[in-house]
Amino acid sequence: MKEIACFSYDDKHEFHLDERSLRYYYPPSIGTDLCKGFDTFEQLDDTADDHLDGLLKTILDLEQRTGSKCTADFITWRGMMTKIMAAPFDNMNGEIYLLTVVRSKGTIFIEENHSHKLESKAAQNSQPSRYGAPSQEMMSYWGYKFETLSLIPDTWAATTREYIENRENEVVNNHAQYCSIVKTGIGKARMIIGGEVDAVWDCKPENKNDPIHWVELKTTVSIESNKDMVKYERKLLKFWIQSFLLGVPKIIVGFRSKRGILQRVEELETSSIPNMVKKNKASWD
């Protein structure tokens, strides 16, 4: 698979046919409190239904620039394909997904039903937390805080030491996104998939045929028991699928305490995850 196009949402979540929101990985500071800045979090209002608009506008632009039709059996978001691929193994959460599927001129377009998605999210957030435990909103924030701690806006050489050391104090904003669009396939099915990519390890190669060293950022609670390990392995299923679908070779996992203190980071090679699970509980591989 390879990236055929990309687009960005800026800090105001406005669409652009460029890579202005591309970010670069730089290791975070261990010991940081991931709760810090929650009160100033600039959170994206995701109640509007974006459908497949950004993906389709970018494909249309590519076709106009190249004069060539982008043919595929399926066009969808990476998140949608992750849910479909994980469904046979994801028997612990009991989640129900409602899909909208449209076939046009031989191509099947798939998206999640937005109203159902919002209802499910609201139901999850309304569940009372265990006594003394952080809220669902806080735990969701921890993931965005970890991203802010781990990203810089340019290459290492072009980013100031002041910026790198001040990331803990940056206002967390999840409006900006870099979205990669790849052409891939599963079996005989040809697919065009779009999805957000957190960062690049070094830089995007000038030769578009060369692989891109993408990085996916994830957080999870530190493993202290067999129960924690089982939960982690279930997470690894989605970590692996998400990265596999877009050709992301490396995942950086931030392990945190139950109170949200970043305790360590671990680098995982995406291709190694199935064997990791197989050697342990083999809960899904």
The answer to whether residues 172 and 41 touch, using CB atoms and an 8 Å cutoff, is: yes
Q: What pLDDT score was predicted for residue 146?
A: 98
Which pLDDT band, with edges at 50, 70 and 90, does 122 fall under? confident
243 contacts: CB under 8 Å, gap ≥ 6:
214, 216, 249, 251, 270
Crossing angle of helices 78-86 and 226-246, rounded to 10° = 130
Q: What pLDDT score was predicted for residue 119?
A: 85
pLDDT at 95 over 90: no
Q: What pLDDT score was predicted for residue 189?
A: 94
Where do we find the tokens 């680098």? 267
> Which helix (H) or strand (E) is 228 found in, with range?
helix 226-246
pLDDT in tens, 209-257: 899 999 999 999 999 999 899 899 999 999 999 999 999 999 999 999 9
86 contacts: CB under 8 Å, gap ≥ 6:
237, 238, 241
Q: What pLDDT score was predicted for residue 282?
A: 57
pTM of the model: 0.92
Which pLDDT band, with edges at 50, 70 and 90, does 283 fall under? low
State mean pLDDT over 149-155: 97
∠ CA(119), CA(124), CA(125), 5° rounding?
100
State mean pLDDT over 104-130: 85
How would DSSP label each residue in 129-192? Answer: PPTTPPPHHHHHHHHHHHHHHHEESS-TTTS-HHHHHTGGGSPPB---EEEEEEEEEETTEEEE
Residue type, 49: D
> Which helix (H) or strand (E) is 60 found in, with range?
helix 53-66
pLDDT at 200 over 70: yes
Q: DSSP assignment, residue 271? A: G
The answer to whether residues 130 and 111 touch, using CB atoms and an 8 Å cutoff, is: no
Q: What pLDDT score was predicted for residue 138?
A: 95
20 contacts: CB under 8 Å, gap ≥ 6:
8, 10
Closest CA to 220 of 172, 179, 266, 185: 266
